[in-house]
Amino acid sequence: MTTTTSTPSATQSSSASLAASARFGTFAIVFSLAAPVVYLLCEVLSLPLFTYHPATSRIDFGWAKGRSGEGPAMYWYGWTATMLIVCTVLGWLATLLPDGVVRKIPLALIWLLPILAMIPLAWALYEPFWSKG
């Protein structure tokens, strides 16, 4: 009878070391805290990184109005890109702070902020969609 010994793969060990890293923890917590706030601000203040025009596949930097005869403009891709970039920068900056600073933030905000952000996001849809028909 033979027995085999399993060795953890490179992926598993890198994943485990990432999970054990306090700096990654700080990055992940700040990224996730910032995400709903940054996304909400992007939507409310019209801050897409770029505007995509799907009918013509044209991309404009920043916010751009849909051009006449060229179909609608899409901002969601740009909001998402803005959110990912800003949150990555904020998460990285947080790793430069002293260890205890981020740990003072109440962790419950990570699930509360998304719920709170959904309220104005839903309200913003009332006028263009839910008040009709």
Partner 1 sequence: MSVNTFWTILLIIHGLLAVALLGALTHQAVAVLMPARQAAGNFVDRFRAVPAAGYATAVCVLWVLTFIIGAWIYAKFRIYVRIPIEQAGYWKTQGFFELKEHAVTIGLGVLPAYWYFWKNARDPQYDSVRKWLTVLLAGFVWFGFLVGHVINNVRGFGS
Q: How far is the CB of 5 from partner 1 (least distance, A)?
A: 21
Which positions from 71 to 110 touch partner 1 by CB under 8 A, shown as an x/- string?
xx-x-xx-xx--xx--x---x---------------xx-x
| 25 near partner 1, judged by CB under 8 A | yes
First to last CA, the chain: 73
Residue number with CB closer to partner 1 (29 or 47): 29
Q: Are strands 50-53 and 58-61 parallel, antiparallel or unpaired?
A: antiparallel
Measured CA to CA, the distance from residue 131 to residue 125 in angstroms comes to 9
Binding site for partner 1 (CB under 8 A): 15-16, 18-20, 24-25, 27-29, 31-36, 38-39, 43, 52, 54-55, 71-72, 74, 76-77, 79-80, 83-84, 87, 91, 107-108, 110-111, 114-115, 117-118, 121-122, 125, 128-130, 132-133
